[in-house]
Amino acid sequence: MLRAGTLGLTVDMPPHDARSLRFGEKVRVHTVLMLNPQEGKLSCYGFLDEVSRDVFTLLLKSPGVGPKAALSLLGMGTAPLIRAIEQEQLASLTSVPGIGAKTAQRLVLELKGKFAQVAQRLPEAEVLPAPQAEVTQALAGLGFREAEVLAALNALSSERTGLAELPLEELLRILLERLRR
């Protein structure tokens, strides 16, 4: 439930966005308002960044993908989702609850190549070396904001060389210690 002035709104969000919110915190939410013709009701979907909202609207253009499935897909992260579609990683797509093999194939067929403009607006964390990107995604899943994780990663990389060679677990441990401070 989000409050906008004196109006309270129920907004469906990707799980990682919803988990990162704190009670009473002021945030900017980028929304999509949709009419559900079967139920005759309005539904509001919210995202903490414009890129996720734009990817959501692109996903809805694929036949067989509704708002619920699009939110589930966004649960894997915006950049990994785009990468999975662009690189035809069907296994990654089918690992999302509610997405079967046919839907994954349809997503790739319908949307491959349509994320170029959106991908240009992705934060720098999405182009990090694989271990750093994985750690960023893992920490976001634990509720840390991407900006916090990026700041910690940048500080760590300026203090220490060889960050890319660190094992994933070690990098995660170091960043968790930094973020708990």
The model's pLDDT over 103-145, given as tens digits with 9 standing for 90+, comes to 999 999 999 888 877 777 776 445 455 566 677 778 878 888 7
Residue-level pLDDT at 16? 80
pTM summary value = 0.65
% of the chain with per-residue pLDDT over 70: 90
pLDDT at 152 over 90: no
The structure tokens listed for 152 are 């910690």
CATH architecture of 2-120: Orthogonal Bundle (1.10)
Ranked by mean pLDDT, which of 11-15, 77-81, 102-106, 140-144 comes out on top?
102-106
36 CB-contact burial (10 Å; exposed 0-12 / middle 13-18 / buried 19+): exposed
The structure tokens listed for 150 are 């990026």
Q: Which of residues 41 and 121 earns the better pLDDT score?
A: 41
Estimate the crossing angle of helix 67-74 against helix 50-60, to 10 degrees: 130
